[in-house]
A and B are shown apart, each in its own frame.
Chain A
Amino acid sequence: MSYRSTPVPDDALEKITVKGLDFFYGDFHALTDITVGIKEKAVTAFIGPSGCGKSTFLRCFNRMNDLIPGARAEGRITLDGQDIYAAGVDPVDLRRRIGMIFQQPNPFPMSIYDNVAFGPRLQGVKKADLDKIVQTSLERANLWKETKDILGRNGLALSGGQQQRLCIARVLAVEPEVMLMDEPCSAIDPTSVQKIEDLMAELKDRITIVIVTHNMQQAARVSDFTAFFLQEMAGEPAVLVEYDRTANIFTSPKDRRTEDYITGRFG
């Protein structure tokens, strides 16, 4: 199967383990009883109809939801076996270990170089080491060739697809262990989509990737594991319907609801 990256072994470790997670926005119960293990150095895709809580769930992993007033999570999420909601866990440090890429590329209004150097600088990396980090990160984001001669140019001057790769380079610069991607390809052109998909296959040798995508073909192409979420009734919390190897989900899903969704019979 040469078109795919290295298969993830059955005994791959769980990087993130979620047990019995419920999530609330104030009175609104968004997710219920989610239990899932995100495999290390693999790509896991979250799919499901719009509004079923994929982004919400993703944002639990790096405690981005903490920033929303009234939002609360119940249950347990561990990173390498350690509770990320435990007292003493610094959310800022957590977000360095678990980086995030959004639908809309959001480079800072500064030079390409400064965008990538931003995180390392905050961490107090010495000036002398920055050049190397910037280059390596841009290389790993497959953006070096295009930008090595224009590092001083404003990041916002790049094309949409390049901006997204710049954001990926910015995340990679702080050596994260996990990269969360929330519909990272929705706002960019097809050629750039291809580049980002290729990039994911390369990056997973070193990091764990979780991607939310509304594009099922993309989930099938890029991921090793797929989780299907569904809110069955308006007002009810969403559930994790099925989680399995992507090949199984797309050839022989076990749950009728998954089958109906991926074959386009509803949603």
Chain B
Amino acid sequence: MREAFRQELKDLKVEVLSIGRAVTGVTRDAVTSLVEGDVDLAEKVIAGDAEIDRRTLQVEEHAIEVTATQFPVARDLRLLHSLTYIALHLERMADLGVNIARAAKRTADRRGPQTLYDLIQAQGNLVYRVLDATCEALEKNDLELARKLQDLDEPIDHLYKQFFRELARLQDEEDIEWASSMVLASRYLERIADNAVDIGERIAYLVTGEFDALHDSDEETG
């Protein structure tokens, strides 16, 4: 019976990893839809969110069931709890991807300065890197990589600030709705990466059994 339990834990981890890769895909599609003004792709991202919601909820239900019946302890307990926590974060990250896709729909009918699209794309590329590293750290229980996520996140924050500076240079006649949608998109990207850093901390706990000092999450702008 303990073998079956262990297999269940493994399956659950595989599922969370798979959700993680799906969220990476969502983020890519969302950024592409924004940068290329691709409304169909944006619609696809928005429509796909229900499936991610369903899968994360299923992970949570499954984890509750296993907790109630199998009395997981020690690293099994940490894994189960962390997977639930990670799934919840992934679900929020997918929501942020949907927000980017919505911004893509709002801005698709006009073309702003290319430098800003380039900046968003550059920021997106850095975020994919963080997401790929997050999935890899979880897959391999890689403590070092999990702790490196925070460093990978740093340039993303910088790009967000740079994005602001570029916007400030825009002429008055630039469409204000267009501009604010783009700022929001950059902000959502930055928050997706923040969530990934939180996941990294949870992976570190999973591996070591100890909570690292929590990094400052920027709750105030929530």
Contacts and interface: CB of A to CB of B under 8 A. Distances in A.
Interface residues of A, number: 13
A265 B76 CA distance: 11
B74 A259 contact: yes
Contacts of A187: none
Interface of B: 2, 5, 71-78, 209-210
A250 B81 CA distance: 13
Interface string A39-66: 0000000000000000000000000000
A176 interface: no
A216 interface: yes
Nearest to B5: A264
Given A220-B73, A259-B74, A252 B210 contact: yes
A250 B2 contact: no
B71 A259 contact: no
Contact of A217 (B2, B71, B77): B71
A234 B168 CA distance: 76
Contacts of B5: 264
A251 B77 contact: yes
Contacts of A250: 73-74, 77
- Chain B interface, DSSP helix/strand/loop, else mixed: helix
Interface of A: 216-217, 220, 250-253, 258-259, 262-265
B202 to A, nearest CB: 14
Contacts of A264: 2, 5
Nearest to B209: A252
A217 B74 CA distance: 13
Given A251-B209, A252-B209, A252-B210, A259 B75 contact: yes
Contacts of A265: 2
A263 B78 CA distance: 11
A171 B30 CA distance: 71
A265 B209 CA distance: 18
Contact of A253 (B2, B72, B74, B210): B74
A263 B74 CA distance: 7
A160 B77 CA distance: 34
A258 to B, nearest CB: 8
A252 B74 contact: yes
Contacts of A263: 72-76
